Amino acid sequence: MHPAIQSGAVALVTGGASGIGAEIARRLTAMGLKVAVADLPGPALDAVSGAQAFAADVSDPAQVAALKQQVEARLGPVQVLFNNAGIQPGSDIFDSAGTWQRVIDVNLGGIVHVAQAFGPDMAASGKPGLIVNTGSKQGITTPPGDPAYNVAKAGVKAFTEALQHALRGMEGCQTEARLFIPGWVYTPLTSRGRTEKPAGAWTPAQVVDFLLAALDQPDFYILCPDNDVDRATDAKRILWAAQDITENRPPLSRWHPDFADPFADWLKS
């Protein structure tokens, strides 16, 4: 396991009251870490057990600063940060639903605010530290249908890459950042009204198994498969998206009618 993840260390999981975050918090607690869960106030946060619960909206820098003070006063300095809070209410390109600002504020702003609040002390401590930011494949291949979410998660990717670059250049710093890229996971965020897990989706337990195993390795990009998409298919989709630029194709050519057959052939090749 990663050297920062050790019994007695303090861990913070944002968005930890449900879904993947709740599973991460449960696993860390079972491993003997002192776990703080931060989430919006409500029944899910009230039901947290085994970890210390803190109400906070990560989109608000003042609430994040207060969260840091509260966690440190109750548990001590954070060594392990799973920056996981996120929302997905849906969006359209001209924001007729009025969701853009909130999605950007939580899914990108929240990651930035929390990392900027906790990261400097983690880096300066000289102790092993770990910051895992939850991104998305939608922030890499940017499929049509939810542009605000894609923009936010693309920002998380760019921010986390810059964060890791900065951390590795700090003298004496033993804190590192990783980008966690889940596949299709059945959670309250993704259920869309379904009451049973689709066959193609992983459970939170499966994706956290993959995440914790990956933290044993030096991989920065923790790219998770699911029951529908394997690693090789993900790699081809990501490479095709990058080649829209290098091959001067139309944007999102994977979904362009003129490129449907070439893309299908590419996947088979």
Sign of the Cα torsion 108, 109, 111, 116 reads positive
What is the phi-psi region of residue 82: left when phi exceeds 0, alpha when psi lies from -120 to 50, beta otherwise?
beta
**Pairwise CA distance, residues 127 & 40, whole Å:** 30
Catalytic site includes residue 186: no
CA atoms within 13 A on the CB side of 195: 0
3-class secondary-structure state, position 83:
strand
What is the C-alpha end-to-end distance of the chain, expressed in Å? Answer: 37
Of 100, 101, 103, whose CA–CA distance to 92 is shortest?
100
Angle at 118 between CA 150 and CA 178, to 5 degrees: 50
Residue linked to tokens 């923009």: 151
Angle at CA 235, nearest 5°, toward 230 and 238?
A: 125
Q: Which of 149, 186, 202, 210 is catalytic?
A: 149
| CA–CA distance, 61 with 66 (Å, rounded to integer) | 9
Catalytic residues: 149
